[in-house]
Amino acid sequence: MYPIIGALVVIASVLGGFMMVGGKLLALWHLNEIVVICGAALGAYVIATPPKVMKAALAGTVALVKGPKYQRVDYVELLKLIYALLQKMRREGMMAIENHIERPTESAIFQKYPKILADHHILDFITDCLRLIVGGSMTPHELESLLEYELETHHHEALGPSQSVQKVADALPGFGIVAAVLGIINTMSIVGSAAPAEIGQKVASALVGTFLGIFLAYGYVGPIASAMEKRAEEEGKAFEVVKMALVASLRGYAPAVAIEFARKLLFSDVRPSFQDLEADLKAAKG
């Protein structure tokens, strides 16, 4: 909702201010300028960006209209899942969760948390980490180091779409200048034979190219890239929470304490209070 409101405020402010001083909206409509700027930006984007990243960028842009992937209740569910797994390991031994992590879709524990079960990225991360722990051949330091490398790779991949969109934002003012220069070239070719009114129209059309490139870059494409980057960082918290809880457990902390370590990593707007999480864990345990 907020991205839509912001987009409307941007265009209303720019066009409203233009009309307040007597500007006419049709004076800003020049299809040739739109074709040059948007077409060139799209072509350059296709040249520079792998199909996988383009697909992720499109999905990420659409996802901005929706809410965050993980809300407070989802983080609580994630913590409850990890707590249940750690409790089972502590009571029955590490091998007790082997079937659960090998076939999570059939696991009675995982089935209680359908959203996490449906997210194959976080599900694979959880099960892979637990496999390393069940193997029993890694120290806490080794596991933490390995997971940090994996999270770094995931973070780099998650930021790829936003970085690719940001490069388009950086290029749009330049393509606006290209469109403006082409318009000036066209204008100069008829200076000796055209009427002043026609020359003025062509110069105005050329200036619209500069305006459009800057407007799209700073009004829409750049903010979209920033919002995608922020969303990727927020969604990466789920992986950090899992890592912290499992590493703390491997270091010998009780499940409840390990979960508290993980809770501390969450941002304040999605972090459950100690009392609320404790009540949820006791309810799940009971």
- Which is higher by pLDDT, 286 or 233? 233
Mean pLDDT of the chain: 88
Average pLDDT over residues 24-38: 86
Average pLDDT over residues 186-211: 80
Q: Are 57 and 49 in contact (CB under 8 A)?
A: yes
What pTM did the predictor assign? 0.83
The residue type found at 202 is: K
Residue found under tokens 């892979």: 128
pLDDT the model gives residue 150: 87
Average pLDDT over residues 9-23: 89
Is the pLDDT assigned to residue 171 strictly greater than 90? Answer: yes
- Tell me: the pLDDT tens digits for 125-159? 999 888 888 876 778 888 888 888 888 888 899 99
Average pLDDT over residues 92-105: 86
- Tell me: the pLDDT tens digits for 221-250? 999 999 999 999 888 888 999 999 999 988
- Contacts for 12-20 with beta carbons within 8 Å, 24 or more apart? 14/215, 14/219
Is the pLDDT assigned to residue 18 strictly greater than 70? Answer: yes
Q: How confident is the model at residue 285 (pLDDT cuts 50, 70, 90)?
A: low
Of 43-57, 74-88, 199-213, where does mean pLDDT reach its minimum? 199-213
Chain mean position to CA 210:
29
Is residue 262 left, alpha or beta, with left meaning phi > 0 and alpha meaning psi from -120 to 50?
A: alpha
If we measure between CA atoms, which residue out of 108, 112, 101, 91 comes closest to residue 249?
91
Cα–Cα distance measured from residue 249 to residue 260, given in angstroms and rounded to the nearest whole number? 11
Average pLDDT over residues 3-24: 89
Chain mean position to CA 219:
19
Residues whose CB is less than 8 angstroms from the CB of residue 154 and which lie 6 or more positions away in sequence, other chains included = 125, 236, 239
pLDDT the model gives residue 22: 85
Neighbouring C-beta atoms of residue 278, cutoff 10 Å = 15
* Tokens coding 231: 């969303």
Is the pLDDT assigned to residue 283 strictly greater than 80? Answer: no
